[in-house]
Structure 1
Amino acid sequence: MDCQANHSIGCTVDQCKHHCSTEPYCSLNKITVGTHETNPTMVECTDCQSFEKK
């Protein structure tokens, strides 16, 4: 399968099904970002909810 990198969505998570292994980008057209905190105040409080394990 040839990955179509979306250059608007940078990604370095190699374990994700949507990561383009030859480039640091996601192959999805859009992603969903969410949080696991009631009051997120730091980058660590957010999650890519479009993540799927390879």
Structure 2
Amino acid sequence: MEKCNECIKCTVEKCRHHHNAKNYCTLDAIQVGTHEGNPTMDQCTDCQSFVVK
């Protein structure tokens, strides 16, 4: 069974790094970034460690 990092909660089931049985990431660390020049809301941020399954 793959490990889960209980410090990184995640509900993105389409990501390769999502734990199949729990809502956690399997990576040791993630990169968070933005697609906006002036982010003002949480929707402006992105998990840049995302990889589609």
**Do they fold alike, i.e. is TM over 0.5?**
yes
Report the aligned-residue RMSD.
0.5
Query: What's the counterpart of residue 51 of structure 1?
Result: 50
Report the number of matched residues.
Answer: 53
Matches within 5 A, 1:1-54: 2-54=1-53
What percentage of residue pairs aligned between the two structures are identical? Answer: 55
Amino acid paired to 1:13: V
Q: Which whole-Å deviations, capped at 9, do the CAs of 1:1-50 have from their partners, x for residues lacking one?
A: x2200000000000000000100000000000000000101000000000
Segments ≥4 residues shifted beyond 3 Å: none
In the alignment, the residues of structure 1 paired with residue 23 and residue 41 of structure 2 have an alpha-carbon distance, to the nearest angstrom, of: 23
* TM-score, normalised via structure 1 length: 0.95
In the alignment, the residues of structure 1 paired with residue 31 and residue 7 of structure 2 have an alpha-carbon distance, to the nearest angstrom, of: 14
Structure 1 residue ranges without an equivalent (≥5): none
